[in-house]
Structure 1
């Protein structure tokens, strides 16, 4: 009965949205006619008539979009019963326990996730093709007992008939959001937006209830302890995967390189094996308890607590790896990477080569910061390690260092420059084929000579920052085979590589024209935007998620902080900043009272970002 009530509620709320929209259209139409009949209100009637037409068109357009909308199956690798007989036997056996029809397809996908779907018709009354999705990283990190718990939970969605309304829910959400999007900027859009919020809140509450219902089958099949442990394991696996992507893949990925399909998931397996101690420490943390009323899932803590009240069963714990259910799992994982991961035109390399190239690209970009600063000081178009050595010999290393350590005295800055100098020497060593960065799953890559022995250039760097010991440093480098002339500038212009988005401001006035602005820790990305201030935060979020940071900057106007000569705070609230660039041009970035923000502190983030460029004792209004 409860399930039927939820189904009826979903359908009724969707119908109610369009009843409300139709009521508004009819009401506006009647009011327009009455105003036309009253000759004194002709102008107002015309405006109201146009609004009525706009609302009607928006509803029709949204319905047309919805008519074509349907959930698309996730890209993945289908596994037939012949390819993975043990996995299919397990899934079919659990479906029998759940008293539900087994899935028609099992697909391996590249996500840290497991899910089910069903193609239905007639508002979910007629069932259709069922699909079970299993994420490769999930299989790599779990044992068979944990996998049974996950599979039981997903099949519980089938037995609870949760997937029958999946298409209805998808179309309903698409319909409502499409209509609201068409009508943003007027009172009708605001009214329908409030209804949309209610619909999404109810849908989220229904989904959370369904998750708890599916957990009951998980406890029944795997036992309470295993089911709870599996839930606690999910955020650990997710954090491990995010760390793997961010630390190991992202640097080379941004530079145009990628692990081979065979290494893409194989690397995650290597990391899990090498960092068991760190993962065990993560497992000691209490389960996450954060939960919003908009969330489709209860918090892990809430689900674990709910399981305490479910009937426990004694089930033998099978600790074999979950991957053992799929013969030649490594080949299957490689096929999933080749099919579902968008490598683009990146150069694919095995891990040792991929890491060596990725770190070199990162260090070269940091070296280029120094070389561009050296080029500005010497008045040359470009620079290299020989240019920096020339500044040291001329006693000007403090001037160069001051760009990176502005608060230090000239003498302190020269000493502090030993760390950047070591970086320049490392790049020179790699460019001279004397050393490379060796891959490691247990820590950061190791800087080693070509014979595999560690290479420490710190003592030479300390000598190279002082005029009196520079010649000794040069002699040591020559003895190692490091060619100073091989270390030169690569990027002539600063890019957004390595930058992180730390804030955003919508509908800013940039040199008098409306722009959305993303604040990076190494610059500002700006692009023209509509004059309307509606949906500014949503627009910023969509933009920020649409591509990696370097691509966002390449497609828009990017002002690196490296190119800022000085800044002036024209006004604190709303934040208004004038940036004077090294070429003498001025970029006026002014926030409007009606602008929107990526997060509440975005204006403060911009203020902090430009502080280093403010003249001493500058007045702020």
Structure 2
């Protein structure tokens, strides 16, 4: 489908929203006119007020004349003077793709590359172009793979995708604004009605009467009903525009294959999918682990530390398995990207261009001047002030203290239960002392419960709460050992962090915990595992 036909289609879909809105307003106007003609003035006035309130979201959605502009993702804008080699590569790839290069280049902290264009007059006139490149993406790609990724993005420029998207975005924002306005008004009505009923119930209780059950069913029905046709059109709009978007992605893939070579384009797609999974693991298992303790990795390592994980031999084998087991289905019918496996298959079906992927001469990160400084500057550009104020720690300390803070947080419910039940210090020794006096299950009863557990009683109630009580005891014991420097979390780039316990504890702890949470608690085995008072001062 050519650019003109795609633009015409986008305009037709946008016009469909306005036709739907005009139809709804026309129905409202007809109802209002008929009411004024055939009913009493008081009834007509009330109905016209209701119709006017229902019409407001439609009018707001229809007259959203301004599409939100691209103000830029959070990132670090770099000039050609600061990053000449990267800019030179970008210009070369843009020329090979047959399109105008971007006006701005922004480095981000994502495993992604994207382009935007602030087109004017709903995309009829070109605008300022911006290219986003993720530093973690560059960390895991070769230079030729990065060129393939850039060529794909510039394919969107060449196919006028970024300009036509201005029309598409206008329609999406209009539909979304209308639906959100209806739903917000419905929720406001529900909130006001709930507050009114709760006030009435409180008043009844104060007078000694039985309070009525809070019931907001049916409140806001008119707004929710009015939202349905727009939700239906929005679903159709997304499906129609996303099918076109998928064709655009495949066309951009062909541009990548033409510029960088078939093998490079296919390997880049595969590697980006693998990097995305590796980056998720890195963020959750390393970079953000210290956050509960108010810690961040060393300067520049939050975005730059991914290379440690990628370089670890143990992780390489996991990533290699992932390369050969990519997801083959699309998660959502609204996803603009076809499945990666399908895209790779279509690229490999292109005629052989004689350019094998081979061994890359240079890593993509080599295109950056002083990448360590870039990663540090990117943190400054993207972190909120609270994050920038956090203390920096080396990786082993970061992981150990972060895991300890998480363990402390998870032990919080049991600590609160101990204090609430005994009025004493929320320590493991205090809990064991209480257990010896028969107060263990009184403490356990104060732990957070599910609805089913809250209804249970007797032995059934104990069975519900026993696992949480046992887990809490284990965390309190671990905290005692860690604070006595007898246990620690050991960091590894090849495996998840592992809690190192004193010799023999892994074998002794399960039985000791089971004994402590038995129907008739025996605390002696668990007491034997507590650190001696002398070790606490070390």
- Shorter-chain TM-score above 0.5: yes
* Unpaired segments ≥5 residues, structure 2: 184-222, 448-452, 517-521
Which is bigger in relative contact order (C-alpha 8 A, separation at least 6)? 2
Cα displacement string for residues 155-178 of structure 1 (whole angstroms, at most 9, x for unaligned residues): 111111111123332222112211
Whole-Å separation in 1 of the counterparts to 2:499 and 2:65: 56
Whole-Å separation in 2 of the counterparts to 1:324 and 1:27: 63
* Residue correspondence of structure 1 range 313-392 to structure 2 within 5 A: 313-317=353-357, 319=360, 320-342=362-384, 344-345=386-387, 347-350=390-393, 351-375=395-419, 379-391=422-434
Cα displacement string for residues 223-265 of structure 1 (whole angstroms, at most 9, x for unaligned residues): 2233222222222211112222222344432454433442212
Q: Which residue of 1 aligns with 2:303?
A: 265
Q: Which residue of 1 aligns with 2:187?
A: none
Question: Structure 1 stretch 213-222 or stretch 338-347: which is displaced more?
Answer: 338-347
Root mean square deviation, CA, Å: 3.7
Give the CA deviation at 1:2.
Answer: 2.1
Q: Which residue of 2 aligns with 1:561?
A: none
SS in structure 2 of the partner of residue 128 of structure 1: strand
Going from structure 1 to structure 2, the CA distance change for 1:157 and 1:409 (only over 3 Å counts) comes to closer
Q: Which residue of 2 aligns with 1:227?
A: 265
Residue 279 of structure 1: which of 308, 315, 319 is its match? 319
Give the CA deviation at 1:68.
Answer: 6.5
Alpha-carbon contact 2:136-2:304 (below 8 Å) kept? no
Question: Structure 1 stretch 331-340 or stretch 49-58: which is displaced more?
Answer: 49-58
Alpha-carbon contact 2:67-2:173 (below 8 Å) kept? no
Residues 1:428 and 2:480 aligned together: yes
Whole-Å separation in 2 of the counterparts to 1:470 and 1:205: 62
Whole-Å separation in 1 of the counterparts to 2:156 and 2:505: 59
Whole-Å separation in 1 of the counterparts to 2:57 and 2:442: 61
Whole-Å separation in 2 of the counterparts to 1:51 and 1:415: 54
Whole-Å separation in 1 of the counterparts to 2:95 and 2:512: 74
Residue 298 of structure 1: which of 335, 338, 343 is its match? 338
Q: Which residue of 1 aligns with 2:124?
A: 125
Q: Which residue of 2 aligns with 1:80?
A: 79
Question: Structure 1 stretch 177-186 or stretch 2-11: which is displaced more?
Answer: 177-186
Question: Structure 1 stretch 88-97 or stretch 363-372: which is displaced more?
Answer: 363-372
Whole-Å separation in 1 of the counterparts to 2:470 and 2:42: 74
Give the CA deviation at 1:20.
Answer: 2.8
Whole-Å separation in 2 of the counterparts to 1:245 and 1:439: 15
Q: Which residue of 2 aligns with 1:19?
A: 19
Q: Which residue of 1 aligns with 2:203?
A: none
Alpha-carbon contact 1:289-1:299 (below 8 Å) kept? yes
Alpha-carbon contact 2:17-2:171 (below 8 Å) kept? no
Alpha-carbon contact 1:291-1:298 (below 8 Å) kept? no
Whole-Å separation in 1 of the counterparts to 2:490 and 2:157: 48
Cα displacement string for residues 97-126 of structure 1 (whole angstroms, at most 9, x for unaligned residues): 211111111110111211001111122222
Cα displacement string for residues 10-69 of structure 1 (whole angstroms, at most 9, x for unaligned residues): 12221232133123323432442243223x465664455335433543344335554263
Whole-Å separation in 1 of the counterparts to 2:380 and 2:115: 23
Whole-Å separation in 1 of the counterparts to 2:413 and 2:132: 45
Scaled by the length of structure 2, the TM-score of the pair is 0.77
Going from structure 1 to structure 2, the CA distance change for 1:48 and 1:266 (only over 3 Å counts) comes to same
Whole-Å separation in 2 of the counterparts to 1:23 and 1:469: 76
Whole-Å separation in 2 of the counterparts to 1:230 and 1:428: 49
SS in structure 2 of the partner of residue 335 of structure 1: helix
Q: Which residue of 2 aligns with 1:140?
A: 139
Aligned residues: 475
Whole-Å separation in 2 of the counterparts to 1:189 and 1:395: 58
Q: Which residue of 1 aligns with 2:532?
A: 477
Q: Which residue of 1 aligns with 2:220?
A: none
Whole-Å separation in 2 of the counterparts to 1:163 and 1:66: 19
SS in structure 2 of the partner of residue 107 of structure 1: strand
Whole-Å separation in 1 of the counterparts to 2:430 and 2:136: 48
Instruction: Name whichever structure is richer in strand by fraction.
Output: 1
Instruction: Name whichever structure is richer in helix by fraction.
Output: 2
SS in structure 2 of the partner of residue 69 of structure 1: coil
Alpha-carbon contact 2:82-2:369 (below 8 Å) kept? yes
Whole-Å separation in 2 of the counterparts to 1:283 and 1:401: 47
Alpha-carbon contact 1:70-1:170 (below 8 Å) kept? no
